[in-house]
Structure 1
């Protein structure tokens, strides 16, 4: 598979993911009548379904990372060429921003926005570290052919058991900065989230490594 096709798949997949997350958040907020729990539930269900489909569609082409933290870990493990890491991350960030703009266009909102939704504090950062560590652990330990369902189910659960509603993805944090909507995050809050996500990714990889049996000498 050529690198160009992989990059196109990563860009489209990340665009689709952010469009689902932000678009469903806008729709949920409009229809929930001020009930934040109902809005979050609707946002969760749409994200779970969209993420499953996107991984199934683009996974055979690019691995369906849609997430710089995942790409970095896969490169560290030798499952992604190190020369491809920067291009992967760049198209993921671009796709995330375009996904936010596409969601705005569909709902006839101003395309260019910056979120004013502050998200921060130790609890939020710990939540993002936990969410991302769990995501990487699920990805790395998932049985063959079952990653799409397990990842989607995990993210759906993590929307509710983490204080941050589980971004678990630096590209998602980046893209959500450009939407002053239900799913947005203020630019001032994004660096803390991204740092926690990268730490969490390293933790998830470390836990997976500890759970992997050592190869028997001579085998």
Structure 2
């Protein structure tokens, strides 16, 4: 059975960071590559099956490369010189040198980049547990809009399915934006597996997949 693995990079990096903490770009790339290859090995009826890896597709956006005003600091932060940018570029570079990995990069809508007050702190501000004078840098999160990532994932699923290049697609993601693509793949006879990395998924998504599989129990703990 030939298997393609598609990774929503933004979702993966968020879940991996929450579970394993901050890692070097090289260590994180190694973790992702090793994890994806665990999907190639499957145990069925007490028999271990090793599928053929078609390719690992990794979808993400380049890091933000502009100055953004921070309302708490009352100054601009230059992300072009940030550690986050350097880490992300190193991570992409490490992945690009792995066998059978294809990077699919969209772009960020940098013109709309801004800082938002995190939801839990917004609630604290409204109920009086937090005041405007208490707000610090940690209370805010950078809001960025990705362009083209979901479209690339959907197009690749459709292409793989229509051309019958694979028998199985494993999608590492966590939202329901891919329901139409999943339905299309299944109609073409593709075994469609979702890996939410231990996260909860909506019923609208679970209805249109052939199975759920997370290969590392560490993800299920958070």
TM-score range, shorter chain: under 0.3
Higher relative contact order (CA 8 A, sep 6+): 1
Larger Cα-atom Rg: 2
Relative to the length of structure 1, the TM-score reads: 0.26
